[in-house]
Structure 1
């Protein structure tokens, strides 16, 4: 129950859960029964979405403009900087909902262009139900991987791989959801067992290659300190490690 309380204390998670509930309600109320068969497609599509967003957006090169750097810091850089801070575990709502809306409109448009019947309902099944359910799975396993608690076998496996991303090489293992390692292997961002024995820890691993005292990082830490409960000691240590 502790993990559920933590997870659903975040507005982004609550908002996405609401989207899934609305999606299920729409399918029950109006969709043909065969549309439910599209939900598994949404699960797979979200795993690809998770990988691409993490690799190509959250790990963008650090912007020079502070306002843009702050956005990226809140979206993801800050989570690497303070990987045990609960407030930084989850995808912000201002990232999750625009991505959800874009994906929904895209799937709806493609289904309509293909002339598929019930194009709107198909988009609901794929994005609002399947996609959001997989998003919730991602949030659960990502949160769990950063908590020092008893874990199931699958949770321990995900934690092991995700720890390599955080503490060995941030350019590898972008998946978090179970089974997502298939995508990393296909995309060449996995670390195999032999390479792992030789892989050295990337310099400045927790700051994604930036010097810990980079002025952009320092300003971002100070900006978000109150919101995420960062103490002056934590901020000072982060600038030197």
Structure 2
């Protein structure tokens, strides 16, 4: 647990979200009503669906043809698949993105609730839901994700998370988009659970780490150079290894 928390403490996105989380928790205690507990529950559940949606539809979208946009996707996610044990690629490089996303979400929720409960209550409920509930769920996601990738001794909890998430990396990157513990029901609900037979049919050793792309695709080569990546994914090394005679 300690090595995982040590990595989380240095994550730029969590560092930037922490003051807003503290403020939301302060609002929870200062203006407590049972409605705020419901708001937190809503924020937690919404975040788990956001986690799935971003992973599936944004990070696993069709690779862009424009190199600049592709580089951003590489730094956000493809690089993580190519080098899954490299903590540098556990998160993207835009550490302010979750803050902007959260503030925009608070504004949208406030506008929707305003006509029904008034501006003050709408802003309070939205702020607590997003920055207490959703940020807590986001921190839990980052904990689960980091734990899955660290090569450390793991108990039952860590082993379950690791088996589930690494199946996405090393067996079938078209499935198992949830990461947080206990959220496999979202994949089952939306039709992307891990299925061993389907995974075997899709599996390609040479492209599994590059999310289906040729690992020597010029876009990948250029993106690696752009971010100073001098090593090659493990599947490229194995493909280049001469056969034994």
Determine which of 210, 223, 229 is the counterpart of 2:213.
210
Provide the rounded CA distance (Å) in 1 between the counterparts of 2:233 and 2:170.
20
Provide the rounded CA distance (Å) in 1 between the counterparts of 2:24 and 2:208.
40
- Structure 1 contact 27–36 (Cα < 8 Å) conserved: yes
2:223 aligned partner: 220
Q: CA deviation at 1:216?
A: 0.8
Of 90-99 and 195-204, the range deviating more from structure 2: 195-204
Provide the rounded CA distance (Å) in 1 between the counterparts of 2:105 and 2:174.
25
Structure 1 residues 166 and 88, CA gap change in structure 2 (3 angstroms): same
**1:62-83: CA deviations, max 9, x gaps?**
1111110011111111111111
Q: Mark the runs of 5 or more structure 1 residues left unpaired by the alignment.
A: none
1:161 aligned partner: 164
Aligned counterparts, 1:169-180, within 5 A = 169-180=172-183
1:98 aligned partner: 100
Q: CA deviation at 1:26?
A: 2.8
4+ residue segments displaced more than 4 Å:
196-200, 236-241
- Structure 1 contact 50–175 (Cα < 8 Å) conserved: yes
Q: CA deviation at 1:192?
A: 3.8
Provide the rounded CA distance (Å) in 2 between the counterparts of 1:197 and 1:207.
16
1:66 aligned partner: 67
2:232 aligned partner: 235
Aligned length: 233
2:79 aligned partner: 78
**TM-score, scaled to structure 2:** 0.87
1:110 aligned partner: 112
* 2:144 counterpart of 1:141: yes
Q: CA deviation at 1:119?
A: 0.7
Determine which of 189, 192, 201 is the counterpart of 1:189.
192
Q: CA deviation at 1:197?
A: 8.1
Provide the rounded CA distance (Å) in 2 between the counterparts of 1:23 and 1:212.
44
Provide the rounded CA distance (Å) in 2 between the counterparts of 1:216 and 1:78.
12
Provide the rounded CA distance (Å) in 1 between the counterparts of 2:173 and 2:202.
12
- Structure 2 contact 176–187 (Cα < 8 Å) conserved: yes
Structure 1 residues 144 and 25, CA gap change in structure 2 (3 angstroms): same
Provide the rounded CA distance (Å) in 2 between the counterparts of 1:105 and 1:239.
46
Provide the rounded CA distance (Å) in 2 between the counterparts of 1:183 and 1:130.
18
Of 201-210 and 122-131, the range deviating more from structure 2: 201-210
Structure 1 residues 217 and 41, CA gap change in structure 2 (3 angstroms): same
Q: CA deviation at 1:14?
A: 0.9
Q: Mark the runs of 5 or more structure 2 residues left unpaired by the alignment.
A: 240-245
Provide the rounded CA distance (Å) in 2 between the counterparts of 1:213 and 1:69.
14
- Structure 1 contact 218–239 (Cα < 8 Å) conserved: no
